[in-house]
Structure 1
């Protein structure tokens, strides 16, 4: 009898844990995108390592994550490694010069960290691709945004230039 009660108790606890996890996990993943019929669509992220626009998006996503988690001991090393991997040597020098002159982050062109980012392909030619990075700094009806023009080399896929827009 004791074994049956204990088994039922453990099974009930396991079911409760699974149901709690199932209820909490979508909330932790972020807001749902509702479709035309009000049904929440599953969040999707994808990319192509051959696409310079995707690489810019991957860089900004990883970079913002690392800067956002600045209390993590590995954050500074991560941002340095990301810059080394995704930026050309010339772009790294330009970023460093901006940071020395402006005392602000030369990737975000700011002293704080955005809450959202988006990357849009804007064209290509002469061996380069351009993308527009939109950084969103706060939530609400009228969030503050800034834009950065990012140029990438089509052969190396490295970011070769970054410049604030406007």
Structure 2
């Protein structure tokens, strides 16, 4: 009987120790996607690329992380397009991707035409006043790098 009590006490002590011990930290990576954007699994590769760019860029701007937003632009856009966007921003005192001083509340993406080594994706920005602004993104087909935006500065 003493052995049984000792064994039961040991099992109980080990169980409690396991419950009281701190759990190991687990890193969870969440996709950076706005809830109002289209579901990622239903998108074409070009739509996913534009959606990912816009979601990450928007999140960094909303968080006031301008260095992060710049890095996102450098990751997804060509150097030439970045230079044109910088010039546009300086001349217009507005965000060159959103073409505004505020941030869209939502967006959607739709695959456009492809040809001559490029494809287009229509990104429709949705604003808090209910208005929408369509922006055509042009991507190079080999690597899906964004190399132009509709109405991007020449």
TM-score, with normalisation over the residues of structure 1? 0.64
Partner Cα distance (1:30, 1:88) in 2? 27
Correspondent of 2:76 among 69, 83, 86: 86
Partner Cα distance (1:50, 1:100) in 2? 34
Partner Cα distance (2:83, 2:35) in 1? 36
> Is the 1:109–1:164 Cα contact (8 Å) retained in structure 2?
no
Correspondent of 1:77 among 31, 54, 67: 67
Structure of greater Rg = 2
Cα RMSD over matched residues?
Answer: 2.7
Structure 1 unaligned segments of length 5 or more: list them.
Answer: 1-28, 32-43
- Count of aligned pairs between the two proteins: 119
TM-score, with normalisation over the residues of structure 2? 0.69
Greater RCO between the two (CA within 8 Å, min separation 6)? 2
Task: Render the CA deviation track for 1:39-82: whole Å, top value 9, x for unaligned.
Answer: xxxxx832599812210111001111111222xxxx11110110
Matched, 1:163 2:123: no
Partner Cα distance (2:84, 2:148) in 1? 8
Match of 2:50 in 1: 56
CA 1:120–1:49: 2 relative to 1, 3 Å = closer
Correspondent of 1:108 among 91, 98, 121: 98
Partner Cα distance (2:133, 2:142) in 1? 28
Partner Cα distance (2:43, 2:104) in 1? 25
> Is the 1:61–1:117 Cα contact (8 Å) retained in structure 2?
no
Partner Cα distance (1:48, 1:30) in 2? 14
Structure 2 unaligned segments of length 5 or more: list them.
Answer: 1-33
Partner Cα distance (1:106, 1:76) in 2? 13
Partner Cα distance (2:83, 2:106) in 1? 26
**Cα displacement (A) at 1:86:** 0.1
Match of 1:138 in 2: 128
**Cα displacement (A) at 1:146:** 0.8
